Each structure stands twice: as C-alpha cells, then as structure tokens.
C-alpha cells in the first residue's frame, strides 16, 4: 500500500507555516498572553455595525455566499471611483497573493522582492516553483530603485513592493512609486501591497489609473477595519487581470458572514477615523515607552512601531523572548539589519501599561544574557 504521489516540486518543499501564531505560543508556554501586540491586528475591533451585520448574517450561514461578491465590489468601486471590473475580492491579501502567483508563476519564473519583506508572498512563490531574487532594504526602506534594477536584470514576472512597509513601518511617497513605473520592464507586474494605507500620511498612495496593466494594488479589511479573523481583502487592477482570477480562485472562498461584515465596516467611516486616531495615540505611546528605556522607535505609517534595540539580532531576539515570558506577544523582523529591532502593534492603554512594565525587565534579562 502506497501513499499519494507528490510532484517533485511539492515533495522537496518543507511543510511550513510562515508565522507562528500567538495561539501556538500560548499552548507552548501554557498560559495566555496578557497583551497581544505582535500580529498587527486591530485590538480596537471592527465597527459595531459590522459586528451587528455579521451576527445577523450568521443565521443565513447555511447558504453559500454570493460567489461574485457583488455588493462588496459595488461599494468598494464606488468609494474608489473605479469600475466594478477593476476589483477582485479574496480571503485576505494572503489569499489574493496565492491566486496571483498561481496565475503568473510557473517553475523557474523570476520574481523580485526585498530581503526581509512579507514572507507569505515568498511562501506562495516557492510553492509554485518560482525563483526569488531579493534586494536588501536601504535605510530601513524598501529600495525601489534596486527592485526595478533587479527586475530588469532577471526579466521578472512580478515585483513585490509593500507601501507602507511591514516589518519596518517605513513608506515612500506615491510620487516616487509613480516615477518608478517608468523603469518597470515590459511584461513585469508591480504588485503593490497597501495593507496599511489607511494609516499612512496623505500622498503615500500613488495616483495610478486602475486600468494600468502594469500594476495590481492589494488592500485589506484586516488592519484599519479590524477584521483580521474574517479574512477579507481586495485587489485593484486592470479588468483583464481581474477577470483572470476567475480561472484559479476559490469562488466560494468568502463566507456570507465576512461579506456582510466587510460591507458594513466599509460604510462606517466614523469608526475608521476613530480607529486611525487611536492608532496614532498608541504609536506615540509606544515611542515614548521605547525612548524611556533607551531604545529608538522608527517612524511608522502603519499600526505598529518598529523599535531599534540598539544591538544585533541576537540581543533583539532575547528582548522579544523575555517579553513573551512576561505575557507580552510581540514579533521582530527576520532579516539583518532589521533584526536588530522588535515590532510592537498598536494597543489599548491597558495593553501598553503591561508593555511599559515588562520592557525594562525584558531589557535587563537580555543584557544579562549578552
């Protein structure tokens, strides 16, 4: 008796999860976290109208959702001033990344990204046999010029750029991205991940025609809208590319509950504005806590603050581990030189009180281990 016959590509891949979630860590440590400040979720939660809409939709969850996501697409396209055929809905940006890579990448196809950028994108590329070409960050920013130069060099099919960036929190002006399009090689798609765009300063989002076939932009309800667990993301792109997603996407991937919640959240602009203000306050407090402990907070256009611990990756990892031991869930960049930092998501005042008490002890523990 034999098992399934995996293709060679799949047989050689490791079974891996790009992120170790807080629930896994809680099981490992045998206790819940006191402050959940690591996954860039919104601890402020979704709009109350979204919660009510999802509760109402729960009674209809015996029905499949509208596979075309019609109502949500109509609402998003109206707000953005684009046509409905410029919008694709999926199971968070992560799901859309997987569909896009499946659409465009065959074994051996070159893909360009930054070394240290979002690992789930890399996970999808490797899973379809693509070849990753990475360029380093420059001054804690993704290096747009280097990305474009590498794309030209390797004839890349996709260039991945997040703006604002995770994990450093940095950002480029929209004008810089618009200018960079002049360097994009023919046949290369710029994948612009704008998961944190609601938190960014005016002028961060580039002015790019939704019909421009060189670009697809991806946004999410996971961050500012507070619906990470509902898994709702959307892409903005040229109609031909958007229509192509129907070749590979899970047409019933969205639940009725998620659709209803996202639509209600999308319409509650007052709640979105309140959350953005709360995040700004939290970023300021995290920065103050960092400085009070002799650390350096990096400028952020996201819902987190990346904090420079002032030494190497081993020291930052020790700080992180000591925080986790005290019940504070945080994460850190994976790649040098960013791994000198820890990354702290915006929290409520009570969460940040816990952080404020734990950080000095964590630093003391890490310094003893150095």
CA distance 309 to 306: 9
Collapse the DSSP code of 115 into the 3-class scheme (helix H, G, I; strand E, B; otherwise coil) and give the result: coil
pLDDT tens readout for residues 36-94: 999 999 999 999 999 999 999 999 999 999 999 999 999 999 999 999 999 999 999 99
Q: Are 161 and 190 in contact (CB under 8 A)?
A: yes
DSSP 201: P
DSSP 19: S
Phi and psi at residue 296, in whole multiples of 5°? -115, 115
Pull the structure tokens for residue 300.
Answer: 């952020």
pLDDT for 56: 97
Secondary structure in 3-state letters for 87-111: EEEECHHHHHHHHHHHHHCCCCCEE
Tell me what pLDDT residue 269 has: 97
Q: What is the pLDDT of residue 207?
A: 97
Does the predicted TM-score (pTM) go above 0.75?
Answer: yes
Q: How far is CA 41 from the centre of its chain?
A: 10
Cα 140 from chain centroid (whole Å): 17
Distance CA(274)–CA(139), nearest Å, equals: 32
pLDDT at 358: 98
- Give the three-class secondary structure for 16: coil
What are the phi and psi torsion angles at 225 (to 5°)? -85, -5
pLDDT tens series, the chain, 370 aa? 688 999 999 999 998 887 888 999 999 999 999 999 999 999 999 999 999 999 999 999 999 999 999 999 999 999 999 999 999 999 999 999 999 999 999 999 999 999 999 999 999 999 999 999 999 999 999 999 999 999 999 999 999 999 999 999 999 999 999 999 999 999 999 999 999 999 999 999 999 999 999 999 999 999 999 999 999 999 999 999 999 999 999 999 999 999 999 999 999 999 999 999 999 999 999 999 999 999 999 999 999 999 999 999 999 999 999 999 999 999 999 999 999 999 999 999 999 999 999 999 999 999 988 7
CB-based contacts of 286: which residues, under 8 Å, 6+ apart?
Answer: 297, 305, 307, 344, 346, 347, 352, 355
In whole angstroms, give the CA distance from residue 224 to residue 274: 10
Phi and psi angles of residue 361, each rounded to the nearest 5 degrees, phi first = -70, -40
Going from the N-terminus, what domains does the chain have, and what CATH number goes with each?
Answer: 19-45+270-369 (3.90.1150.10), 48-267 (3.40.640.10)
Looking from the CA of 13 toward its CB, the CA atoms found within 13 Å total 17
Angle of helix 256-267 versus helix 48-58 axis, rounded to 10: 160
| Per-residue model confidence as pLDDT tens digits over 201-222 | 999 999 999 999 999 999 999 9
Of the candidates 209, 204, 197, which has an alpha carbon nearest to the alpha carbon of residue 233?
197
The partner residues of 158 in beta bridges, in order of sequence, read: 111, 189
Q: Report CA-CA distances (Å) from 129 to 3, 105, 114, 148.
A: 23, 8, 18, 22
* C-alpha to C-alpha distance for 27 and 80, rounded to whole angstroms: 42
Name the packing angle between helices 256-267 and 70-80 (round to 10°): 20
Question: Checking DSSP bridges between strand 158-162 and strand 131-135, what pairing results, if any?
Answer: unpaired
| Terminal Cα-to-Cα distance of the chain (whole angstroms) | 53
136: left (phi over 0), alpha (psi -120 to 50) or beta: beta
> Pairing between strand 35-36 and 233-237?
unpaired
- Residue whose C-alpha is closest to residue 167's, from 21, 362, 331, 290: 331
pLDDT confidence of residue 329: 97
Tell me how far the alpha carbon of residue 289 is from its chain's centroid: 25
Sign for the CA dihedral angle at 69, 70, 71, 76 comes to positive
Is the backbone peptide bond immediately before 240 cis, with ω within 30 degrees of 0? no
Two structure tokens written together for 158 = 């996709």
């Amino acid at each position: 008796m034999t098992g399934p016959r995996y293709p060679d590509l799949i047989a050689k891949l490791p079974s891996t999860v790009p992120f170790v979630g807080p629930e896994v860590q809680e099981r490992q440590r045998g206790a819940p976290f006191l402050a959940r400040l690591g996954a860039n979720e919104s601890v402020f939660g979704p709009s109350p109208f979204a919660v009510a809409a999802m509760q109402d939709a729960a009674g209809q969850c015996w029905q499949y959702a509208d596979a075309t996501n019609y109502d949500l697409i109509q609402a998003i396209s109206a707000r953005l001033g684009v046509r409905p055929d410029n919008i694709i809905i999926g199971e968070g940006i992560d799901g859309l990344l997987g569909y896009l890579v499946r659409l465009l990448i065959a074994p051996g196809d070159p893909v360009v990204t930054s070394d240290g950028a979002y690992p789930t994108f890399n996970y999808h590329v490797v899973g379809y046999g693509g070849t990753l070409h990475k360029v380093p960050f420059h001054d804690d920013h993704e290096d747009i010029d280097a990305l474009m130069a590498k794309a030209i060099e390797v004839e890349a099919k996709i260039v991945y750029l997040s703006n604002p960036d995770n994990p450093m929190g940095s950002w480029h002006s929209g004008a810089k991205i618009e200018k960079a399009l002049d360097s994009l090689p023919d046949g290369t798609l710029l994948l612009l991940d704008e998961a944190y765009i609601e938190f960014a300063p005016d002028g961060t989002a580039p002015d790019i025609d939704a019909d421009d076939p060189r670009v697809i932009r991806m946004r999410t309800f996971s961050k500012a809208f507070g619906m990470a667990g509902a898994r709702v993301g959307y892409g903005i792109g040229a109609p031909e590319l958007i229509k192509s997603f129907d070749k590979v996407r899970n047409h019933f991937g969205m639940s009725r509950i998620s659709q209803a919640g996202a639509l209600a959240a999308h319409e509650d602009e007052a709640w979105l504005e309140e959350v953005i203000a709360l995040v700004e306050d939290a970023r300021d407090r995290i920065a103050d806590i960092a400085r009070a402990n002799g650390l350096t907070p990096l400028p952020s256009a996201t819902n987190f603050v990346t904090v420079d611990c002032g030494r190497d990756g081993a020291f930052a990892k020790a700080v992180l581990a000591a925080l986790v031991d005290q019940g504070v869930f945080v994460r850190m960049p994976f790649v040098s030189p960013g791994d000198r930092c820890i990354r702290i998501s915006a929290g409520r005042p009570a969460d940040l009180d816990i952080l404020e008490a734990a950080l000095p002890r964590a630093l003391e523990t890490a310094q003893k281990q150095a």
